[in-house]
């Protein structure tokens, strides 16, 4: 998407370089949509001064007003500041469920693996196998959960200096352009659509198995560690936006 000259295949076609400059950002997408599954990507983020940029890896139903979407958005920084990853979940057109975590490593120094696990029980966002966010299926108490719309997988790099870094206070320094992000090991294991309609609920799909219906003990410990030490924003505790916490927050997300 956007400018063809801003996306390059490297390493013999095994990796992709995305380029952002004052002319254009860019992105790429899966050819098919998927209903439930496990998607992962190794990404190396923009090095140096990346303030005002957003590097993204996400799933999207591409259905406008009633879209479902599962987002990893990596918010650029001024040199020396930690990179922030923002996650968001849209279900049936309703988003505004942002959480932000400061990464505990330099994601521009090397590739790291970012994963979305989406099944009938929960959605889990992982960074190098460490869960940073869990959104449980609470349909039993009438809380919306994305399960009806297949989603494509997207990777994009764009300029968002009106909000991305310190709420828009830090602007892009175009003298540092071009900004480069790298993607490789694009892995999707899910139900491709069109496919058998029973596919999504088939218990033989490994991502629906017992081992993936809740965090195991090791994952739960890592999850608590992230929440206690690296989380910097949670919509559930933002009293200015939500004087009454959203219902899914009270139900245990």
pLDDT digits (tens, 9 = 90+) for 129-158: 999 999 999 999 999 999 999 999 999 999
For the record, the structure tokens of 89 come out as 């979940």
Catalytic residue among 69, 159, 170, 248: 69
Per-residue pLDDT at 198:
67
> How far apart are the C-alpha atoms of 60 and 90, rounded to whole Å?
9
**Residue among 24, 79, 18 at smallest CA distance from 44:** 18
CA distances from 192 to 50, 57, 90, 103, 204 (A): 35, 18, 20, 32, 15
Record the tokens describing residue 238, joined without a space: 């933002």
Token pair for 195: 């496919």
- pLDDT at res. 250: 86
pLDDT of res. 2? 74
- The pLDDT score that the predictor gives to residue 222 is 97
Active-site entry in 73, 159, 170, 248: 73
| Number of residues written out for the chain | 253
Going from the N-terminus, what domains does the chain have, and what CATH number goes with each? Answer: 4-240 (2.60.120.200)
pLDDT at 4: 84
How far is residue 151 from each of residues 90, 118, 139, 147, 206, measured CA to CA in Å? 12, 11, 20, 10, 19
With a cut of 70, list the residues of the chain below it in pLDDT: 1, 196-198, 200, 252-253
Tell me how far apart the alpha carbons of residues 142 and 250 are, in angstroms, rounded to a whole number: 13
Rounded CA separation 221/17 (Å): 35
Residues 60 and 45: beta-carbon distance below 8 Å: no
pLDDT at res. 252: 67
Whether residue 69 lies in the annotated active site: yes
Question: In the numeric block, which tokens belong to residue 163?
Answer: 């909000």
């Amino acid at each position: 998407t956007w400018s063809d000259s801003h996306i390059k295949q490297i390493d013999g076609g095994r990796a992709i370089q995305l380029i952002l400059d004052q002319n254009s950002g860019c992105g790429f997408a899966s050819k098919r949509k998927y209903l439930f599954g496990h998607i992962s990507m190794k990404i190396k983020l923009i090095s140096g001064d990346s303030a005002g940029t957003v590097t993204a890896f996400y799933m999207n139903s591409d259905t406008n007003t009633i879209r479902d979407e599962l987002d990893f958005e990596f918010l650029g920084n001024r040199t020396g500041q930690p990179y922030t990853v923002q996650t968001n979940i849209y279900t049936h057109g309703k988003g505004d469920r942002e959480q932000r975590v400061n990464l505990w490593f330099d994601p521009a120094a090397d590739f790291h693996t970012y994963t979305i696990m989406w099944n009938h029980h929960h959605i889990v966002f992982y960074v190098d196998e460490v869960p940073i966010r869990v959104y449980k299926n609470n349909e039993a108490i009438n809380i919306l959960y994305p399960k009806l719309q297949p989603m494509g997988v997207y990777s994009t790099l764009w300029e968002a200096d009106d909000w991305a870094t310190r709420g828009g206070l830090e602007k892009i320094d175009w003298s540092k352009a071009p900004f480069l992000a790298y993607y490789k090991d694009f892995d999707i294991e899910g139900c491709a659509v069109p496919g058998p309609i029973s596919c999504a609920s088939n218990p033989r799909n490994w991502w629906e198995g017992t081992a993936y219906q809740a965090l195991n003990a090791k994952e739960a410990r890592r999850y608590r560690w992230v929440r206690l030490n690296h989380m910097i924003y949670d919509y559930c505790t933002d009293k200015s936006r939500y004087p009454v916490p959203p219902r899914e927050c009270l139900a245990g997300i």
